[in-house]
Amino acid sequence: MLEQLLIFTRGGLILWELGNALKGSPIDALIRSCILEERSADSAFHYDGPAGCAAYTLKWAFDNDLGLVFVAVYQRILHLLYVDDLLAAARREFSRVYDSKRTSYDDFVETFRQLQMEAEARAEEMRKFKQAGRAPAAPGKKQVPGAASRGSGKQRTSGGSGSGKDESDGDPGNGRRSENGSSKGQENEINENSRAQNVIVHGKENGAPQVEAFDVSKLQKLRSKGGKKTDTGGGGCKAAKTEPKKIAKKNRVWDDSLSESRLDFTDPVDDRGQGPEVVVADQGESMMDKEEIVSSDSEGEEDEEVENEKPGTKKKGWFSSMLQSISGNAVLEKSDLRPALKALKDRLMTKNVAEEIAEKLCESVATSLEGKKLGSFTRVSSTVQTAMEDALLRILTPKRSIDILRDVHAAKEQGRPYVVVFVGVNGVGKSTNLAKVAYWLLQHKINVMLAACDTFRSGAVEQLRTHARRLQIPIFEKGYEKDPAIVAKEAIQEAKHNNSDVVLVDTAGRMQDNEPLMRALSKLINLNNPDLVLFVGEALVGNDAVDQLTKFNQKLADLSMVPNARLIDGILLTKFDTIDDKVGAALSMVYVSGAPVMFVGCGQSYTDLKKLNIKSIVKTLIK
């Protein structure tokens, strides 16, 4: 049984709702962890919620032209086979009656019930066909009487197609999964619990157009009674939250040593709280790209969407495309987007973005653009590029502000040291960059102590001792073959006695698959509950970035003895001085972990620590 169906605008206004409010707000989680993070091309979202709460599966569909979102929620143990089909049908029918001035959609309940019955019937029919080992009936045959696409000139994404497919099959309704195939669809499913915690949404802070921006904090019902739920139960939407204020940029004072480099993706490390500037959209240059449409055709890619299109719409000529573009009537289809996205994906990969991430981002951008009207004189490529720029800014922009200096002072007021644990694979620069962070803190007149908790690699303690001597700061060390968790605990106690404000904990480098070392790290983190778990990763890394971060987080979650395991809070990217314009690791790491890049190491001296310049990274990735 469907638990909830919600129709809302991208601006956060709930237009129509069916079902009871659900514990834990799975729809909020979907928006935060999936849609805002450019995972909307995934096949489904799994939500485990707080203890005692049922596990749910969420599926969704967009009407990009109208800026509407349709979300269905059902218990995960139920494998409802008709949900994609139902969502597509609901989207089709609701789009017909949608009017931005309308205040009530109460009467939609009858249409919806009818659609639900039909979708269930189609799913049942499909199940029987499958059992009989026969091919399914042609999709999309059954429709609510009077159903028709709105007058965009093109068929809106085929509603009933492929109805009743097994959940692991491609998405018939909105074409979202049809390129992926079944197993991919399964792989794409993400689990809220495995994602980074502490995600706070700032849907509009990257400057994306108002209508585009999701703002979960603004999910609200239509004022009139028309917005009321059709079923029993309290409202499942959240009250509005205030958006965080931007803090004015402050100049860095301690580091004046950076020489002008040809490519500088870094900002002074003290740009506290500064949001990224919006990249000016490169819009309105020309008409639709004729090459793109031609190449799309010539590629001969025949997938479900292409088959489902109305005859004639796919093979629009260059002239008619141009006219449509001039008049602003062209409705974007996946096939229009594909060449531009393919080029963008290749570009991202040449910049060292992991292939899997580049692929997912392109799928997500396609999902967000499909069905949208192209503006007058706007090229598909620039529309895609702008959408990708917005997506990248959204991903790279920290979802919560971690201000170390502020937090250090807060900890001091509580009479305890602020603790940072540096983790990562071997040789990435943990100790060197830990020393840079120590130097930076010293510039801010903060008392720092180092804790030598790499009790594994010979020479590690001496290396840290050298940094401590050079920086003239205390070090807590217990030699080798000791339990690093205990050494860290003792170091924190010692810091209380010697009035250290911050303890920087060095740990042994470990491969993400090394179970015993990952277990030891999990113990260290859980025993000492540091303020910050900083993952140190090399900017040089390509596809392995995804594996490293995913597995570190996974192991920390799996090997933890406590219910709410601590995961990685932030990233320190090292060796940025060696990568030229191959800045993709920053994106891959943030995308897979949801953790922000807090520092960038760009050299081997103590002053070579910067803050990531998000705007510059996005420009480099796209251009």
Ligand X SMILES: Nc1nc2c(ncn2[C@@H]2O[C@H](COP(=O)(O)OP(=O)(O)OP(=O)(O)O)[C@@H](O)[C@H]2O)c(=O)[nH]1
Binding residues for ligand X, per CB under 6 A?
Answer: 424, 426-433, 454, 457, 460, 509, 574-575, 577-578, 601-604, 608
Radius of gyration of the chain (CA): 26
For 155, residues 6+ apart whose C-beta sits below 8 A from its C-beta are: 149, 308, 309, 310, 313
Structure tokens at 115: 């659609």
Least Å distance between CB 100 and ligand X?
Answer: 51
Structure tokens at 110: 């009858």
Give the nearer residue to ligand X in terms of CB position, either 276 or 603.
603
Give the nearer residue to ligand X in terms of CB position, either 320 or 604.
604
Least Å distance between CB 586 and ligand X?
Answer: 13
Give the nearer residue to ligand X in terms of CB position, either 122 or 430.
430
Structure tokens at 316: 């629009």
Side chain identity at 443, as an amino acid letter? Q
Return d(Cα 25, Cα 32) in angstroms, integer.
11
Give the nearer residue to ligand X in terms of CB position, either 424 or 530.
424
The arrangement of strands across the sheet holding 475-477 comes to 266-268, 609-612, 597-601, 570-574, 532-538, 418-423, 502-507, 448-453, 475-477
Least Å distance between CB 40 and ligand X?
Answer: 35
Angle at alpha carbon of residue 228, lines to 200 and 11, rounded to 5°: 35
Give the nearer residue to ligand X in terms of CB position, either 257 or 426.
426
Give the nearer residue to ligand X in terms of CB position, either 491 or 573.
573
Return d(Cα 461, Cα 584) in angstroms, integer.
33
Give the nearer residue to ligand X in terms of CB position, either 220 or 266.
266
Least Å distance between CB 427 and ligand X?
Answer: 4
Give the nearer residue to ligand X in terms of CB position, either 56 or 422.
422
Least Å distance between CB 587 and ligand X?
Answer: 18
| 3-state DSSP assignment of residue 249 | coil
Q: How many residues does the chain have?
A: 623
Least Å distance between CB 457 and ligand X?
Answer: 5
Question: Containing H/E element for 221?
Answer: strand 220-221
Return d(Cα 129, Cα 166) in angstroms, integer.
12
Return d(Cα 279, Cα 323) in angstroms, integer.
29
Least Å distance between CB 420 and ligand X?
Answer: 14
Q: In Å, how far from its chain's centre is CA 93?
A: 30
Whether the CB-CB separation of 364 and 38 falls below 8 Å is answered with yes
Least Å distance between CB 461 and ligand X?
Answer: 10
Least Å distance between CB 538 and ligand X?
Answer: 8
- Per DSSP bridges, beta strands 56-63 and 68-75 are antiparallel
Least Å distance between CB 510 and ligand X?
Answer: 8
What CA–CA distances, in Å, run from 459 to 41, 448, 449, 455, 604?
Answer: 47, 22, 19, 9, 18
Least Å distance between CB 539 and ligand X?
Answer: 8
Q: What's the farthest any 2 CA atoms get from each other in the chain?
A: 81
Going by C-alpha positions, the residue among 94, 92, 107 that lies closest to residue 8 is: 94
For 452, residues 6+ apart whose C-beta sits below 8 A from its C-beta are: 460, 461, 464, 465, 475, 476, 477, 478, 487, 506
Give the nearer residue to ligand X in terms of CB position, either 274 or 431.
431
Return d(Cα 508, Cα 488) in angstroms, integer.
12
User: Which residue number has the CB closest to ligand X?
Assistant: 509
Whether the CB-CB separation of 376 and 363 falls below 8 Å is answered with no
Give the nearer residue to ligand X in terms of CB position, either 372 or 575.
575
Give the nearer residue to ligand X in terms of CB position, either 261 or 320.
261
- In the block, tokens 């010697």 appear at 498
Return d(Cα 38, Cα 579) in angstroms, integer.
26
Least Å distance between CB 425 and ligand X?
Answer: 7
Give the nearer residue to ligand X in terms of CB position, either 26 or 429.
429
Least Å distance between CB 241 and ligand X?
Answer: 38
Give the nearer residue to ligand X in terms of CB position, either 377 or 480.
480
What CA–CA distances, in Å, run from 447 to 471, 499, 502?
Answer: 11, 7, 6
DSSP state of 331: B
Least Å distance between CB 506 and ligand X?
Answer: 7
Going by C-alpha positions, the residue among 217, 220, 219 that lies closest to residue 242 is: 217
Give the nearer residue to ligand X in terms of CB position, either 102 or 469.
469
